[in-house]
A and B are shown apart, each in its own frame.
Chain A
Amino acid sequence: MRTVVFDSNVVETEVKPHGKLDIFRKMLSDEVRDTLAVAGTLHPSPCPACAADDGHRAFEKSNLGYFQCGNCSSLYVSPRPTDAAIIDFYRRSLAWKFWREQILPETRATRRSKIFYPRARWLLDVCDKYQPDAERGVAVGYHSDLLLDVLHQLEPNLFHVTVTNPIADIEWAGIEIPGVSVQPMAAFDFSELESIDILLAFDFIDRCADLETFFGNVRKSLKPNGLFVASTILTGFDVWMLWDRSENIYPPDRLNLFSINGLKSLSQRHGFEILELSTPGMFDADSVRRAIEADPGFQWPRFMRYLFETGEPSTFHEFQEFLQKHRLSSFGRIVLRKTMNEHTDKESKHVG
């Protein structure tokens, strides 16, 4: 298994303008509370990572309860809305409209150069190594145009990609990228898209309500040895440090915050070999530093306060690298390969 560490010069404010982000989060929280966290429409869930039903309540966000799994330590919302309700929410959400219209355009150039260029190059290396003859890819989830645009720029002969974004009529309106077709799929059911070489699910599995069905569908649709590449939020440094005070935990985008062991369990339980599991997050240290700055009166751990009040910029940089190197950041990335024998894989599901 590989772990990848990024040395990047991006700072969080370049891709997350905090003033507008605060507005977005407030709007989102209000909308979730009013329209999504509605009693009677929610369904209880075991741990979506390891499937254990051993969670204890951790905290609440926007009237949705987060549980911590007693087996793998992942955090997850339960009871939770359905995937159909979440898609409908994204379609109608004014907060997400604000995100698309106010935040994305302002940060697009920086995201492109500092987030998506490195990601696309890494992805091409992964494809070259594990699926050099890939002919067909699928991109699930939301906001995938920038990555695919950069991918096409770097590799004009890239395999054909089908985008299944369920609100493509909004997010892909007017966007055309050679070699990319759009086929919205509300239920994330890929049965009509069989023989997939590579499935991309960036920033999706953390907001997928029914991961059992999703992972099953991915496995069913991938060719033998097909690749499943995903990114997600994890229970990394800033989540552990800030817990319910973390600004990075907000439903419905963050229904599932996997622990490393939870993510391993989820993958292997569904018959995937883990080729890479990395936490190349860049903003953990900055998130904690800002939280301490914003609330100096809170009882922060003494060492953390000392570190973040007196540390040099290079200290933070190297601290973030340390988190990446040891899989402790809260942004995760995983490369999975569909194994040939599902039965054998499922027998070796217990990890860590």
Chain B
Amino acid sequence: MKTAIIGYGYMGEIRKRVIDTLPELELSAICDPYATPETTGIACPHYKDYRLAIDREKPDIVFVCTPNRFIPTISVYALQQGCHVFCEKPPGRHLEDIKKIRAAEIAHPDLKVMFGFNHRHHPAIIEAKSIADAGRMGSIMWLRGVYGKSGGPGRDFETSWRNDPEMSGGGILLDQGIHMLDLFRFFCGDFQEIDGMLATTFWNIPVEDNAFVFMRNQQGQMAQLHSSATLWKHIFRLEIGLEGGYMVAQGLLSKTGSYGREHLIIGRRPDPDEPAAVGNPREETVYFDNDRSWELQVKELVHCVKHNLPVSDSSTADALGVMEIIDTVYRKAKRDVNVPYTERGAA
């Protein structure tokens, strides 16, 4: 299958490496205003205009790896030209953006659309999901997630397009917290009660650098997220409370390793004949060596395309679901006129 990568930055390079590992895929075009064969070292045709790249190369799959602002336009165009789409998260700047993509997908029912919620395919999450789904530890009662980064050295973070509302549409919640919200939905489905608070506490940016989100669904399962750009120690931590125990997925197998070694702690509620273990049960910790999340996700899309199967993982429905949560939190934050978060940033 022929592929085109639109947007050849950090994520575009990751997608290129994945394409190289899958024999079914062939890179036919790169589109990026700053990329040339000389700068990328890749021999395939390079374009500045995504429409030309799609029209001329006629790829089977288009990887949309651009800043958020361009995602809906390019994704919709690719679908209209008969291409399957793999789109990075977040799926645009606003709820309306994903609705446009969803509408284009519905208009082209034979085409597949998948979004880059790759955290579902991290090994600790796969392990936790397997254990939760098996049901031996009972139902999930609650989820608690912390996902955050330091923003980087100096003040460069403040000038990143990710913190330009025109380009990104939101702050750390939309950029990174979206992964944790997606995992909440992955484990517990849709949430009906949603509340949250946003704050710009440190960085001089017009979007939030910290967000707290609280949710509950119809089954009574509760979830809490702290998404932050002021965690000077990078943290990924998802706690899962079950009737018969708990799991903690912590660390991420990432390029820099700054989130720590990825592992899953599994603890079980002590049996009645283990009174000494109450409050401090035996734990098992599973460490992981390989992150195949990028590859697994794209393989799944290729599988769906080859066999004309509906996309059930990281689908437009998933993207829509998670953007509805973020939209709700943003709308509530804007209504909070007493403490408007955009006015609380450090000057």
Q: Which residues of A contact B (CB under 8 A)?
A: 1-9, 113, 118, 121-122, 124-125, 128-129, 132, 154-155, 325
Contacts and interface: CB of A to CB of B under 8 A. Distances in A.
Contact of A4 (B130, B282, B285): B285
B7 interface: no
26 contacts: A2-B287, A2-B289, A3-B286, A4-B285, A4-B286, A5-B286, A5-B287, A6-B283, A8-B282, A9-B277, A118-B284, A121-B136, A121-B268, A122-B284, A124-B136, A125-B134, A125-B266, A128-B130, A128-B131, A128-B133, A128-B134, A128-B136, A129-B126, A129-B131, A155-B136, A325-B287
Interface residues of B, number: 23
Interface in B90-132: 123, 126-127, 130-131
B285 A5 contact: yes
Contacts, number: 61
Contacts of A155: 136
Contacts of A121: 136, 268
Interface in B279-298: 282-290
A113 B273 CA distance: 10
B287 A7 contact: no
A129 B284 contact: no
B274 to A, nearest CB: 8
B290 A1 contact: yes
B20 to A, nearest CB: 19
Contacts of B286: 2-5
Interface in B125-161: 126-127, 130-131, 133-134, 136
Contacts of B136: 121, 124-125, 128, 154-155
Given A124-B134, A128-B133, 11 more contacts: A1-B290, A2-B127, A2-B288, A4-B285, A4-B286, A7-B283, A7-B284, A122-B284, A125-B130, A125-B136, A129-B131
A8 B270 CA distance: 13
Nearest to B135: A128
B278 to A, nearest CB: 13
A129 B284 CA distance: 16
Given A1-B289, A3-B286, A5-B287, A129 B127 contact: yes
B301 to A, nearest CB: 22
Given A3-B289, A124-B136, A128-B134, A118 B282 contact: yes
Contacts of B134: 124-125, 128, 132
A181 to B, nearest CB: 25
A129 B130 CA distance: 6
Nearest to B261: A325
A9 B285 contact: no
B271 to A, nearest CB: 8
B292 to A, nearest CB: 11
